[in-house]
Amino acid sequence: MTSGLRHQGCLYGSDAEFLRMAVPFVRDGLARGEPVLVATTSANLELLRDAMGEEAENVDYAEAAYFGRRPPQRAAAIHRYWGQHGGSVVRVIAEPVWAGRSRREVDAWQRMEAGVNVVLADADIRLICPYDTRIVEPGIIDDARRTHPEFVTGMQTRPSAEFMAPADFARSHSTAGTVAVAGDFYRFDGDLGAVRRYVLDKATPLLPDEDAVATFGIAVGESITYLLRHGISGVSVWVRASAGRVVCTLRGDQPLPVHPFVGFRPPGQELADGDGLWLTNQICEWLDVSSDTAGCTVELAVPGHRAAEAFGV
């Protein structure tokens, strides 16, 4: 088997079609002595367990909704599973959850699907991402063909004629743009301590507890450090509540060369031109980094106290 990542999509429209892909994939992996993880819906997990019989006990399972709740966490979870097995070949079925997501969240998940082709390229992972055509929007299906180099139907594999270069796809699905910093904002002039005090002062009434405040401060601090590392010293900082979240916008006064998958690799494994923001990407509900001729923007968000109280976020 070729070393490195093999990233495949699978479109299925029935339980039988799901099993025609999953059962041979799992059994072949077990026969080769390869660890196998299946992260999909609870219904599909039950179907697969029944179909596998006694072999089912040799498979690792996770419900898709809890296997990396956010796109960066999903990519990190897949990489971590591979690392837990000593870097040997592993097999993963990882089904994204699309129902109920906002347009911004859908774009983030689609960028992640493109991003794994880059950030997991050197990992010996056989990865199949199933898409249930009974419930997934046609536009998402179309984009799946652009983010997966290959598609699986049963035991047959074919290249995707629509596959796009991952960076090109990610840039075409960026939700970040020029932000007009408004309201009460702070002008950062190189004093990290002062901007940290400003951020914590604004965020404390909006966040559920001291741990959330401290974590938010870490995320903003890493973001400012990222900008400083890239020579951006003039930054406006704006913190506010928005739709149940606490949002911080950092607007720099110079353009920034933005890697489309910045923040997807942990320290020590960064992309050559995408250093930093891994911790921020793990902490926040979203992280958007963009640039235009007028300057650059980093925007991040975490759940506010009302969301935390209502849902235990």
Residues of the chain with confidence (pLDDT) below 50: 178, 273-274, 307-313
The reported pLDDT for the residue numbered 263 is 81
- How far, in Å, CA of 274 to CA of 284, rounded? 18
What are residue 39's DSSP bridge partners? 62, 94
Pair 258, 295: CB distance under 8 Å:
no
The reported pLDDT for the residue numbered 134 is 96
Give the burial class of 228: count Cβ atoms within 10 A of its Cβ; 0-12 exposed, 13-18 middle, 19 or more buried: middle
pTM of the model: 0.83
The reported pLDDT for the residue numbered 181 is 52
For 252-287, write each residue's pLDDT tens digit: 889 988 888 888 876 666 555 445 788 898 888 888
**Domains in the chain, CATH or no CATH each:** 6-172 (3.40.50.300), 185-311 (3.30.565.10)
Residues 88-104 as b or e (16 or more Cβ within 10 Å = b): ebbbbbbbbbbeeeeee
Torsion of CA 161, 167, 169, 173, to 10 degrees: 170
The reported pLDDT for the residue numbered 249 is 93
Pair 250, 223: CB distance under 8 Å:
yes
The reported pLDDT for the residue numbered 183 is 60
The reported pLDDT for the residue numbered 310 is 43
